[in-house]
Amino acid sequence: MTEQNLSSTEVPPQIEQPNAYPFNWYDDDPKLAMLYGRAKQENWDPASIDWDSIKTNDYEAIQRSAISYWWAVLANFENNAAAAFSKALVYITENHYDNATQKMTGTIVMDECRHDECCMRACNLLCPNFLKGWKPSNDLETKALRNVGWVYYNGGRYWKGYVRSYEKYRFPLIFTSFMMGEACASKLFHEMKEKTDHPAFKEAFTHMTQDESRHLAYTWFVLENAIPTLTEEERSLIPKRLRDGFVYLSMVLYEPPAEFWKLPSDFLSIHRKMEEIAMDAGLGVLTLEEKRNAWKSTILDVKRKLSKYDLPFPNLPEIDVSGD
Give dist(CA 177, CA 182) in Å, integer. 9
Which helix (DSSP H) or strand (DSSP E) does residue 248 occupy?
helix 232-253
Minimum Å gap between C-beta 185 and Fe ion is 5
Q: Which 73-92 positions form the footprint of Fe ion (CB under 5 A)?
A: 78
Task: Name the one range near Fe ion by CB under 5 A: 145-153, 206-214, 219-227, 266-274.
Answer: 206-214
Name which position in 64, 115, 243, 303 contacts Fe ion (CB under 5 A): 115
Contact criterion met (CB below 8 Å) for 263 and 256: yes
Residue 122 to residue 66: CA distance in whole angstroms = 11
Other Cβ atoms closer than 10 A to 308? 8
Question: What is the Cα–Cα distance from 36 to 15, expressed in whole angstroms?
Answer: 28
| Beta carbon of residue 249, minimum distance to Fe ion (angstroms, whole number) | 11
Of the candidate spans 25-33, 34-42, 109-117, 242-250, the one that interacts with Fe ion by CB under 5 A turns out to be 109-117
What is d(CA 111, CA 266) in angstroms, rounded to the nearest whole number?
A: 34
To Fe ion, the closest distance from the beta carbon of 243 in angstroms equals 20
Q: Which is nearer to Fe ion, 134 or 171 (CB)?
A: 171
Q: Nearer Cβ to Fe ion, position 67 or 84? A: 84
Q: Closest CB to Fe ion among 35 and 230?
A: 35
Choices 126-134, 158-166, 174-182, 219-227; region in contact with Fe ion by CB under 5 A: 174-182
Distances (CA, A) of 69 to 41, 65, 215, 278, 291: 32, 6, 25, 8, 18
Distance from CA of residue 36 to its chain's centroid?
Answer: 18
| Residues of this chain, 255-284, that bind Fe ion according to CB under 5 A | none
**Residue closer to Fe ion (CB basis): 78 or 234:** 78
The secondary structure of the chain in percent helix, strand, coil, rounded to multiples of 5, reads: 70, 0, 30
Q: Which of 195, 215, 243, 271 binds Fe ion (CB under 5 A)?
A: 215
Q: With respect to Fe ion, which residue has the nearer C-beta, 65 or 209?
A: 209
Q: How far is the CB of 116 from Fe ion (least distance, A)?
A: 8
Q: For Fe ion, which is the closer residue by CB, 51 or 218?
A: 218
For residue 128, give every residue at least 6 positions away whose Cβ sits within 8 Å of its Cβ, in sequence order, or none: 134
- Total number of residues binding Fe ion (CB under 5 A)? 6
Rounded to whole angstroms, the Cα distance separating 169 from 125 reads 41
Contact window for Fe ion (CB under 5 A) among 36-44, 133-141, 207-215, 250-258: 207-215
177 to 196, contacts with Fe ion by CB under 5 A?
A: 182
Q: Measured from the CB atom, is 109 or 140 closer to Fe ion?
A: 109
Angular region, 128: left φ>0, alpha ψ -120 to 50, beta rest: beta
Binding positions for Fe ion, rule: CB under 5 A: 78, 112, 115, 182, 212, 215
